């Protein structure tokens, strides 16, 4: 995407637009591709069906929505004030499932990277590429 907007504005726009090539996952994919990394998508044979799988790097990437996956400390996460009885267990289950999947993948020898939607921008994606290439085990949520 052309740099007409700053990272922050761009990511806000991206959150508003659903579908098409502005989807956060597509942003991540095109960035990896430009960096010369090769990957596969949604491998159903892996726990949690990771969004992006880099077999040669033994790395998987989940691109996660801040609300649905409850990004810790993020302004987009938190349980809605109305219908809390519905949301609380639902979101809790998602968090527990994410954790279990991450753990299972790690036990299988995969490096797991989480990219939160609110973080997506040039800086975060550059760091992701660096992490994947270096085999850095840090699981970036910062
Ligand atoms: Zn967030």
Closest CA to 53 of 10, 100, 109, 15: 109
Q: What is the mean pLDDT of residues 16-42?
A: 81
Instruction: Please give the helix or strand (H or E) that residue 41 lies within, else none.
Output: strand 40-41
The alpha carbon of 122 and the centre of ligand 1 are apart by a number of angstroms equal to 16
Q: How far is CA 7 from CA 3, 23, 31, 75, in A?
A: 8, 15, 14, 17
Ligand 1 mean position to 43 CA, how many Å?
25
134 vs 36, 58, 111, 138, CA distance in Å?
A: 14, 12, 11, 11
How many A from CA of 91 to the centre of ligand 1?
15
Q: Calculate the average pLDDT of the chain.
A: 86
Q: What is the mean pLDDT of residues 57-75?
A: 95
Q: With bands split at pLDDT 50, 70 and 90, how would you rate the model's confidence at 141?
A: very low
Ligand 1 centroid–CA 115 distance in Å is 9
């Amino acid at each position: 995407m052309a740099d007409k907007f700053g990272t922050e504005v761009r990511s806000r726009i991206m959150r508003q637009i659903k579908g098409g090539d502005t989807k956060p996952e597509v942003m991540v994919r095109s960035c990896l591709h430009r960096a010369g990394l090769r990957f596969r998508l949604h491998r159903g044979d892996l726990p949690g069906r990771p969004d992006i799988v880099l077999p040669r790097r033994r790395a998987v990437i989940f691109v996660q929505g801040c609300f649905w996956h409850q990004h810790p400390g993020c302004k987009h996460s938190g349980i809605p004030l109305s219908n809390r009885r519905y949301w609380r267990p639902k979101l809790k289950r998602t968090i527990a499932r994410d954790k279990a999947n991450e753990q299972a993948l790690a036990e299988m020898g995969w490096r797991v990277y989480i990219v939160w939607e609110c973080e997506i921008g040039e800086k975060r994606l550059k760091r992701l590429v660096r992490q994947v290439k270096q085999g850095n085990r840090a699981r970036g949520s910062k």
